[in-house]
Structure 1
Amino acid sequence: MIREDILFRKMQEGDWSAFNSFFDCYAEQLFHYALGFVKHREEAEDIVQEVFIYLWTNRDKITYTGSVYAYLCRSVKNSCIDYKLHEKVEERYRQEMMITGVDDSDENDNFEELYDRLQSIMETLPPKCREIFIMGCMESMSYKEIAEQLDISVNTVKTQMKTAYKKIKDEFGDKDKRFMMILLVAFE
């Protein structure tokens, strides 16, 4: 069998069969991995497909530093977390619209726009801050659990969570205060 680093270099040079080798070797495992997170076949398939599309279209920008499978797993996990975040915030948003009697067909486009802004804001967070925020909000881990898993102090976790919330709150401002409140309630 050809070494993975050589196969990766070939893929970077545009060799479709090298890319196909990665797809054939890892797609099914990644699908099952994604399915464990999102619990829906179609979404798991879409996530894996998007990860492979990203791998191919950005192949010349990605640096090979180890296992391609580990890179793909991390990409799938991050995509699943983003999917779950979207799902959670959207559900809370819809509940709020029902409670207040707002026609949610008018608000659906607004939600997508606001959610895209949230994603952009989260991308600007420092990597460790974003990781801690996701662990606390999406994976519902306690500060103590996060601290133990990342081998950091609970105070560091608190500080990073506060930083993330402040950044999100500052970026949304008063104009989208209602969405911000829905977002914060969704993360309780």
Structure 2
Amino acid sequence: MNNSGRKKDQEICVMLSSMNQKGMDLLFDAYYKPLVVWADTFLRDMNLAEDVVQDLFVSIWKDKVYLRFKPETLSSFLHVSVRNRCFKRIEKRDVFRNASVLDHVELVFEEYNERHDQLVSRVLEEMALLPERSREIMNCVFLEGLKYREVAERYGISVSTVKTLLGNSVKKLRERLNKELFSGFLLFYCRWR
């Protein structure tokens, strides 16, 4: 992320931490369109992509998720949340075909979404404590889905260095997170790779 993006994320987080509505407006202005395009790559349905992103923004405000935002993890949190919500929408289509009690299924998914947002936020907090290069490599591998070779080329380092940094980062997360949170990390970051 460039300096202007970091500065914007810093401004957004400062405003939101003081519960200033303008922070939500800035968040929307900065991320809405890119997140809709991101969601559309999974869903291939622009209207549904907009619904997913709008639902995320509503959830962020309603559940006060924004109080846990940190500038260094804001973009990753938003992109991972949108990606996971898209996958849940895709899964939900299949579940709804076979579900006999739709109201119950919807309730389960709502509870799952809320728990997911809390889990992702906590994992991102721990990731923010990692050294910058380690965070960047984890984002490349887990968020962008790049191969080790592609990450090595991007940063001008060897594939073995990428593997070492990634392995050390995952090990640190395993030590810092309880079993449920680490399992959540594996589920949400490694599942779709």
- Contact 2:77/2:120 (CA < 8 Å) preserved in 1? no
Please list every run of at least 4 consecutive aligned residues from structure 1 whose deviation after the TM superposition is greater than 6 angstroms.
none
Shift in Å, 1:149: 1.3
Aligned position for 1:121: 126
Aligned position for 1:185: 190
In structure 2, the CA distance between the partners of 1:161 and 1:104, relative to structure 1 (3 Å rule), is same
The residue correspondences of 1:1-188 to structure 2 (distance < 5 A) are 35-36=33-34, 38-39=36-37, 79-91=74-86, 95=91, 103-176=108-181, 178-188=183-193
- Contact 1:38/1:84 (CA < 8 Å) preserved in 2? no
Shift in Å, 1:129: 0.2
Aligned pairs, number: 127
In structure 2, the CA distance between the partners of 1:79 and 1:105, relative to structure 1 (3 Å rule), is closer
Aligned position for 2:14: none
Amino acid at match of 2:146: M
Shift in Å, 1:92: 5.2
Amino acid at match of 2:176: E
TM-score (norm 1): 0.51
- Contact 2:142/2:190 (CA < 8 Å) preserved in 1? no
Deviations 1:107-137 (A, max 9, x none): 3332222111111011011000000110111
- Contact 1:135/1:141 (CA < 8 Å) preserved in 2? yes
Deviations 1:89-114 (A, max 9, x none): 44557759x6xx79223333322221
Higher mean C-alpha displacement, 133-142 vs 175-184: 175-184
Which 5+ residue runs of structure 2 have no aligned equivalent? 1-25, 38-48, 58-70, 96-104
RMSD: 3.9
- Contact 1:132/1:157 (CA < 8 Å) preserved in 2? yes
Amino acid at match of 1:153: S
- Contact 2:126/2:173 (CA < 8 Å) preserved in 1? yes
TM-score (norm 2): 0.50
Bigger Rg, structure 1 or 2: 1
Amino acid at match of 2:136: E
Distance 2:186 2:76 in 1: 21
